[in-house]
A and B are shown apart, each in its own frame.
Chain A
Amino acid sequence: MRKAHWHLLCVMLAITLTIPFSALAAKPLIQGAASEPRSLDPYFHSETPTNSMNNNIYDGLVGFDGELNVVPGLAESWDTPDNLTWVFHLRKDVKFHDGTPFTADDVKFSIERCQTWPKSGFKSTVNMIDAVEVVDPYTVKITTPKPYGILHRKLAQVMIMSKAYVEKQGDEVQSDTPNGTGAYKLKEWIKGDHLTLEANADYFRGAPVIKEVVARPLTNDATRTAALLSGEVDIIDDVPVRDVNRIERQEGVEVVHRPGLRLIYLQMDQGREISPKAKGADGKNPLLDARVRRAIYFGIDEEAIVKHVMNGFAFPAGQFYPEAVFGYDPEIFRPAYNPEKAKKLLAEAGYADGFTITIDSPNDRYINDEKIAQAVAADLARLGIDIKVNALPKKTFFPMTDRLESSFFLIGWACADGDASGFLDGIAHSYDKARGFGRYNRGRYSNPEVDKHIESAAATVDQEARLKAMQAAQEIALLRDQAFIPLHFQVDIYAKSDRVNWKPRADHYFRYSDMSLKD
């Protein structure tokens, strides 16, 4: 009798254990996300996980395809009658989630809120806009004070909100109850646990295939991998390199990857005779000499870094941005590792016996950042340079470089809008606080010729001319001046269940309406 009870108990236990699996019959897509969105108010924080989620709930006037080409969004077409004016022709069949129709007033309201809301983290996308004019309910005219060739790329990041809704409900509830035009509506968001989206049947591009999406923040790398392997989630991002083999061994799941946008590169102090952490025998800053900078470029074995530090998940960089970015130059290649040439260049510059230098690096910002800095240091030590590695948490590292307390440091950059102007304006241009150039130029590289090309690229809406000017700027800054030392581009690694059909995007966004499930 006793034994029979045990069996009964076992059976009951087994039944309860299988309940959640049968509950999966509705089959939502479950994503294990490395980070949670910070806010669903689309102007609060501009960072990838937040923007990625908001792009499912809202739409911009224009958008990016997977390769960062600008494609129509809420505007079906646009033209630039002159250098200072952009006219957007809006779709007439779009409704917000609450059923109200989308019109030009919403566009004007959204851009102005983005500019003036004190908490807006997107001001830099719209700060070049002078005025937004409603021509008729489906036509918007935007004017800029000077020619601004990347306005459409900037506007692709500005999600459009409903004027009536925001004015009625107030700013502070937008994150909890977003009302967009996008492919998905927010169903439930329990912070830290899950965010559930349901398909918008009235979406103007057609109702999405996947009816329900659950995004669960699994910030711990090992947890995320385990959740995929145990079948609790269907897709994960930021797969740690060490888990790639484990995932590939298992049936039913696969690893997918693609080159990302982020460049890892080195900046060097080129603005001061005496630099805090770089000293030659005479006490002067050796990095002022372009031959020294080029010697460093030739003296770093990037192939070995990619192979040993990055386990193959990176691409050696020969330029400031990868091929997907507008501004890439197909003529420039990375020279081969050549320590002999590096030594010769150092000797020519008068540093045959090397010099003393410290390389600063964050240790919690980029993939393997500290190890990369150590590998760079090992290579440079072989050239006779006396080098130390100083790795710091990002919250200390970034303010330190901002105060110019570093002479030589490892840092990253991603051209998030798919245009080279991000790097050129922010890093390669001379530091000019008043005009907003060179905010990340913390080695204070300055070449008026480069500045001229960058500014001429910024001063036209003719995309051919912009491309030429940006390529010319990079050619001087990279080939002639060796102002920066590109190392590699990171690779975005994802893993997914076989039942998910999906191709990763260059911007690391998840657009659930582009996905489908097999079964």
Chain B
Amino acid sequence: MPGYILKRILQSIVVLLCVSVVVFAIMYLSGDPVEMLLPPEATQQQVDELRAYLGLDKPFHIQYIIFMQKALQGDLGRSFVFNKPAITLIVERIPATMELALFAMLLAVMIGLPAGMYAAVKPDSWLSKIIMSGSLLGISLPVFWLGIILVLVFSVILGWLPSSGRGQTELVCGIRLGFVTISGLKHLILPGLTIAVFQLALIVRLVRAGMMEVLLQDFIKFLQAKGLSRQRIIYVHAFKNILIPVVTIIGLQLGNIIAFAVVTESIFAWPGMGKLVIDAIHALDRPVVMAYLLIVSLMFVFLNFIVDVVYTFLDPRIRLK
């Protein structure tokens, strides 16, 4: 186990290094942020001064070396646009994104698991058919369209739910949380649903396929012969056997939602990381983009690690090497 962890850490350092070089180069090549930071009336002298102040007048490799030197000391730089440490800007936004992602995933799992299992156990019932065609729809609907339709129906026409923002938030142990207030919960519903629909559909299809396969296996027949109730066979023994792919997908998708909920965050004006980063990319705010991608890469590495560890609990035959 310790050897395994060490190996994973070394791997992630290589990943982070590669990410940093590629992103730095892309940001460098995309243009000159100073042109967009200063008002059009600015004089050439003002432009040159700011460029020198931000260190953008230096050649690429020098800029990268300076960045790495500071990064290794834990300083990812100050946002060109907001004049705040990039890491602070991102950390401020993490709770909002996490809250949304976890809520959506919870929704997807709580509905997706039972629905998928039902569809596998009773494939011919009319409810199964609805579940399966619903899941096909869920996978095919574009997120931005779904989000806007939900807003149109539930906010503009019916007026039941708020269309945007996070609502009232409270500080809990220094973290700003929304779901602890009624207004915050209501603000979670539409964006949460928008993200959950795709994940839900994915889980339904995955669980159904896995379950159908497992139910045909010999050990199920053996359990039946042993006289176990059908309920127990399905919900305990078969269920355990479909969890490995489901956990993998949940782990990966959770990472995806956290890192790339940009579209949903932008439709619902959700003050999360995705929106911050999209704006940063448009403004060529390199420190923020760099800090974000490094944090996200770290998170993916970490989530994958957690998934691997969970495997060993689900299937004792798997060992971490």
A435-476: CB near B (< 8 Å → 1, else 0) gives 010011000000000000000000000000000000000000
CB under 8 Å from chain B, chain A span 107-150: 118-119, 121-125, 127
> Which of B149-157, B199-207, B306-314 touches A?
B149-157
Q: Quick one: closest B residue to A174, CB to CB?
A: B83
Least CB distance from A355 to B in Å reads: 30
User: B82 and A439: CB pair below 8 A?
Assistant: no
- Shortest Cβ distance from B167 into A: residue: A20
Shortest CB-to-CB span from A250 to chain B, Å, is 9
Please give the number of chain A residues whose Cβ is less than 8 angstroms from any Cβ of chain B in the complex. 57
A433, B36: Cβ atoms under 8 Å? no
**B276 at the binding interface (Cβ < 8 Å):** yes
B63 within 8 A of partner (CB)? no
The answer, among B39, B42, B182, for a CB contact under 8 Å with A19, is: B182
The residues of A that contact B89 with a CB separation of less than 8 Å are 191
Identify the 3 closest CB pairs spanning chains A and B, nearest first: A192-B271, A395-B31, A46-B39
| Complex CA–CA separation, A226 to B186 (angstroms) | 17
Distance of A436 from chain B, by nearest CB (Å) = 4
Question: Contacting A226 at CB < 8 Å: which of B39, B49, B164?
Answer: B164
- Further pairs besides A191-B89, A216-B269, A226-B152: 9, Cβ < 8 Å: A46-B38, A46-B41, A124-B42, A124-B46, A172-B83, A220-B269, A226-B148, A426-B41, A436-B43
List of A residues within 8 angstroms of B46 by Cβ: 123-124, 127
Residues on B with C-beta less than 8 A from A440 are: 40
Cβ of B237 under 8 Å from chain A: no
- The answer for the CA separation of A124 and B46 in the assembled complex, in Å, is 7
Do A191 and B271 have beta carbons less than 8 Å apart? yes
* A395/B36 in contact, CB under 8 A: yes
Flag if B186 contacts A232 (CB, 8 Å).
no
Known contacts A216-B165, A230-B163, A416 near B39 by CB under 8 Å: yes
- Rounded to whole angstroms, the CA-CA distance of A416 and B83 in the bound complex is 24
Known pairs A39-B83, A395-B31; A230 contacts B36 (CB<8 A): no
Beta-carbon contact of A433 and B44 below 8 Å:
yes
Q: Is A269 an interface residue (CB 8 A)?
A: no
Q: Which residues 173-216 of B sit at the A interface, judged by CB distance below 8 A? A: 176, 182-183, 186
- Residue in contact with A223 in the complex, picked from B81, B84, B267, B279, CB distance below 8 Å: B267
Q: For residues 205 through 228 of chain A, which have their beta carbon under 8 Å from a beta carbon of chain B?
A: 216-220, 222-223, 226-227
Q: Would B284 and A416 count as touching, CB distance under 8 A?
A: no
Identify the stretch in A56-64, A297-305, A328-336, A396-404 within 8 Å (CB) of chain B at 4 or more residues.
A396-404
Looking at the assembled complex, report how far the CB atom of B172 sits from the nearest CB atom of chain A, in whole angstroms.
15
A225's nearest neighbour on chain B, judged by CB, is: B156
Do A218 and B39 touch across chains, with their CB atoms under 8 A apart?
Answer: no
Q: Using CB atoms and an 8 Å cutoff, list the residues of chain A in contact with chain B.
A: 16-17, 19-20, 23, 38-39, 41, 44-47, 118-119, 121-125, 127, 172, 175, 190-194, 216-220, 222-223, 226-227, 229-232, 364, 394-396, 398-399, 402, 413-414, 416-417, 422, 426, 433, 436, 439-440
Other-chain contact of A395, B93, B160, B166, B284 (Cβ < 8 Å): B284
Contacts of B93 in A (CB 8 A): 191-192
Contacts of B268 in A (CB 8 A): 223
B164: contacting residue among A44, A45, A227, A414, CB under 8 A: A227
* B267 contacts A219, C-beta separation under 8 Å: no
A123 & B42 in contact (Cβ 8 Å cutoff): yes
B37: interface (CB < 8 Å)? yes
Contacts A17-B160, A192-B93 given: A124-B39 contact, CB under 8 Å?
A: yes
> In the assembly, what is the distance between CA of A19 and CA of B167, in Å?
12
Q: Give the chain A neighbours of B42 by CB distance below 8 A.
A: 121, 123-124, 439
Interface centre among A217, A218, A230, A439 (most CB of B within 10 A): A230
Q: Is the CB of B269 within 8 A of A19?
A: no
Return the contact of A422 from the options B41, B152, B160, B276 (Cβ within 8 A): B41
Given contacts A190-B176, A216-B269, A223-B164, whether A231 and B41 have CB atoms under 8 Å apart is no
Q: How many residues of B contact A (CB 8 A)?
A: 55
B165: chain A residues within 8 A (beta carbon): 193-194, 216, 218, 232
- Bound complex: CA A416 to CA B42 (Å): 12
CB-CB < 8 A to A394: which residues of B? Answer: 36
Q: Is B315 in the interface zone, CB < 8 Å from A? A: no
Q: Which one of B37, B155, B163 has the highest number of Cβ atoms from chain A below 10 Å of its Cβ?
A: B163
**Residue B142 interfacial (CB < 8 Å):** no
A-B contact pairs, 14 of them (CB 8 A): A118-B49, A121-B39, A123-B43, A124-B46, A172-B83, A175-B83, A175-B84, A216-B165, A226-B151, A226-B155, A232-B163, A395-B32, A398-B31, A416-B41
**When the two chains form their complex, are residues A45 and B41 in contact, meaning their CB atoms are under 8 A apart?**
no
Output the least CB separation between B153 and chain A (Å). 11
Contact of B279 among A219, A232, A402, A426 (CB under 8 A): A219
Q: A175-B83, A216-B269, A230-B155 are in contact. Are A193 and B166 (CB under 8 A)?
A: yes
CB of B183 within 8 A of CB of A19, answer yes
Supposing A124-B46, A230-B159, A395-B36 touch, asked if A193 and B271 sit within 8 A by C-beta, the answer is yes
Interface assignment of B231: CB less than 8 Å from any CB of chain A? no
Contact B163 A227 (CB under 8 A): yes
Question: Which B residues lie within 8 Å of A16 (CB)?
Answer: 182, 186
B164 and A218 form a contact (CB under 8 A): yes
Q: Chain B residues near A175 (CB, 8 Å)? A: 83-84
| B30 at the binding interface (Cβ < 8 Å) | yes
Chain B nearest CB, measured from A171 CB (Å) = 9
Asked if B35 contacts A399 (CB within 8 A), the reply is: yes
B187 to chain A minimum Cβ distance, whole angstroms, is 10
Query: Chain A residues with Cβ under 8 A from B248's Cβ?
Result: none
Nearest CB of A to B299, in Å: 20
